[in-house]
Structure 1
Amino acid sequence: MDLFNSALGRNITFIRPAYFIISGFIGIPYMKYYYVFLCFVYIASVLGNTVVMVLIYLDHNLRTPKYVAVFNLAFVDLLGNTVQVPKVLDIFLFNHFNISYNDCLTFLFFCYTCLSMQALNLVALSYDRVVAIMFPLHYQTKVTHRFMFSLIAFFWLFAIIALLVAVGLLTRLSFCDSVVINSYFCDHGQIYRLACNNNFPNSVIGFLLPFLILWLPLFVILSSYICIGYALVKVVTVNERMKAFKTCTAHLSLVAIYFIPILITFTMSARIHPNARIINLSLTSVFPPMLNPIIYVLQTHEIKSPQRKQIMVLPLSVLYLIKSNIS
């Protein structure tokens, strides 16, 4: 079977490859240990995010607008790691480096959509904190279920449309030379740079996507905390100030573990080895979904106090069932 499937016609130069080759982890030493680590990360992510989603669904006290966003974040984290980690393990652990053209674009779409929604969901949670601290008397009217559902639905629609545009622009590209993607997944930038026809629209969307789904959300979040800091300065007593700030610690932790590794990787990309950069990028995408539920369980009073027994029982029950099936 030929590597390329070209369009019919004598003078047609458009070439669509039958498959791409994912080569990101090939040649990096001791990668089998990293694959074991990815398995642990994925299992912990599935258990943790499932716990958070089940608790919010079962406990009526947690069905507040804030926890609508928390539930969506847990769902996105679960979906993101489920889309990414098993496929990465299948590619590199079982040497299935070839991925079909359509599967690659589908893989790209879901990976980027989940990564986008993680950042946009943090914006929704930052809005909740801004209103809670700056306008506490109007919180019930400004942060309603309808508003939070509408905001999250808008973010989903925005992310899906943006990624559909990016994927649609990739389908107009012709690949007449290399089909090797030097990444651990179907990376948008790696794909369009392989094209042998005009890829200027793809480079534009490649510039706009990080701005819209990473840097703009980060700017909005930082601006919200500048407003929160300004409001806390006006609080008279230190105890009230600290009490108000503690309500933001969980969200700040989520923001830190999501954006700081990305910022470090992008700002130091020229100074680090390409292999190290690929591993760092993979960690920035799979690690936050594992840590997010742990942070909310340990730092959020509404989840931590009344549901402690349920939180402990569910993961243990799942592990017991897995052990029973294996034995």
Structure 2
Amino acid sequence: MENLTMGASLKQPIVFELVGFDVPPGQGPLLFFLALCAYMVVLLGNGVVICVIVMDRNLHRPMFVMICHLVVCDLLGATAVLPRLMMHFLTGQKNISYLPAIAQGFCVHTYGVAMQTILGVMAYDRYIAVCEPLRYHSIMTSARLHSCCALAWMVALLLIAVLFSFHMNVPLCGRIIQHVYCSNRSILNLACVPTPISNIYGLSMSWSVSTGVFVIIAFSYIRILSASFKKRQTDSSVHKKAFQTCAPHLVVYVLYQIASVIIIVSLRFPSVSQNIRNFFSILFIIIPPALNPIIYGLVSKDLRASILNLFSIQVMRVCHKQ
């Protein structure tokens, strides 16, 4: 069997072959169109949210700044996978060289971890907003806000960088990746030698991040529920305010966890076909980024009003020109 090395020179580049979906003859253009529509929904929804937040100074508040970071994370995950997947559906091209493969896997894993760390920071922000409303602006200053967001990204990038550092100089005994996109596990499955350190680190990292974020979110919402019950006697609208503030964040977190659990469960059952596993993996990249802007746009009154206002202004400009 062909023996390759991750540290191969540029004269002998490593080229992987992604054999994910079994595309039926003649169905490539249809799958390309569906993937294109999904990608356009992701780009349009997240693009509108980030443009509105940047343009409307009234939305330059911690919660909406964090939504911007969440939007960037969504775009990172979708852009790492969908354009290449569309090329595969349209042209049948399955090859991917070493550096693009590592870059794709790095971005996909960063998306998965950064989504959780950013949601953890957002839970902390919601806890301060509901439980310490009078001290909110003194606690969540601009410096602390940007520090928290930077920390969320740094944790994700550092953890994934360490994960992919285990790939260096690992000999490979194949080049066929049984997946629709590259990931840490799919590449290391080609290793000629066992990779116990990478396996242990990957499992430990996933467990630590998921558990840590869950603890932060659970603690925040327990305190938020406790505070809202205590305040309802003096302010009957406190439950409504807490719901409007926290519901989008909680729905996004639950949606992400459901998508993650579906993938984990499908990988643990050999009876599940490869096409179904790959389909769930793609949904993990598409569903959260596509639904997150809708969730925040529907529940957040300020964001919804700003989007409608911007849309009405653009319509009036078009009508005026005509």
**What TM-score bracket applies, with the shorter chain setting the length?**
0.7 to 0.9
Tell me the TM-score normalized by structure 2: 0.85
1:276 aligned partner: 276
Structure 1 Cα separation of the partners of residues 246 and 6 of structure 2: 55
Residue 129 of structure 1: CA displacement? 0.9
Residue 169 of structure 1: CA displacement? 0.7
Q: Which range moves more in the overlay, 110-119 or 282-291?
A: 110-119
Which of 144, 148, 158 is the aligned partner of 2:141?
A: 144
Where do 1:66-145 residues align within 5 Å?
A: 66-145=63-142
Partners of 1:3 and 1:18 within 8 A in 2? no
Q: Closer, same or farther in 2 for the Cα pair 1:301/1:311, shift >3 Å?
A: same
Partners of 1:25 and 1:31 within 8 A in 2? no
2:193 equivalent to 1:201: no
Partners of 2:262 and 2:280 within 8 A in 1? no
Which of 240, 243, 247 is the aligned partner of 2:241?
A: 243
Structure 2 unmatched runs, 5+? 318-322
Whichever residue aligns with residue 275 of structure 1, its letter is N
Per-residue CA deviations over 1:261-293 (Å, capped at 9, x if unaligned) read 212332354264332122112101222111111
Structure 1 Cα separation of the partners of residues 262 and 74 of structure 2: 21
Per-residue CA deviations over 1:102-127 (Å, capped at 9, x if unaligned) read 22111111221122222211112111
Q: Closer, same or farther in 2 for the Cα pair 1:305/1:273, shift >3 Å?
A: same
Residue 307 of structure 1: CA displacement? 3.8
| Equivalenced residues, count | 308
Residue 233 of structure 1: CA displacement? 2.8
Which of 252, 265, 269 is the aligned partner of 2:250?
A: 252
Per-residue CA deviations over 1:57-88 (Å, capped at 9, x if unaligned) read 11111111222111111122223212221012
Residue 27 of structure 1: CA displacement? 5.2
Q: Closer, same or farther in 2 for the Cα pair 1:196/1:250, shift >3 Å?
A: same
For the aligned residue pairs, the C-alpha RMSD in angstroms reads 2.8
Structure 1 unmatched runs, 5+? 9-15, 318-327
Where do 1:1-327 residues align within 5 Å?
A: 18-26=14-22, 33-176=30-173, 178-237=174-233, 239-267=237-265, 269=267, 270=269, 272-311=272-311
Structure 2 Cα separation of the partners of residues 219 and 36 of structure 1: 41
Residue 170 of structure 1: CA displacement? 0.9
Structure 2 Cα separation of the partners of residues 72 and 289 of structure 1: 12
Q: Closer, same or farther in 2 for the Cα pair 1:17/1:309, shift >3 Å?
A: same
Partner SS, residue 24 of structure 1: coil
Report percent identity of matched pairs: 27
Tell me the TM-score normalized by structure 1: 0.84
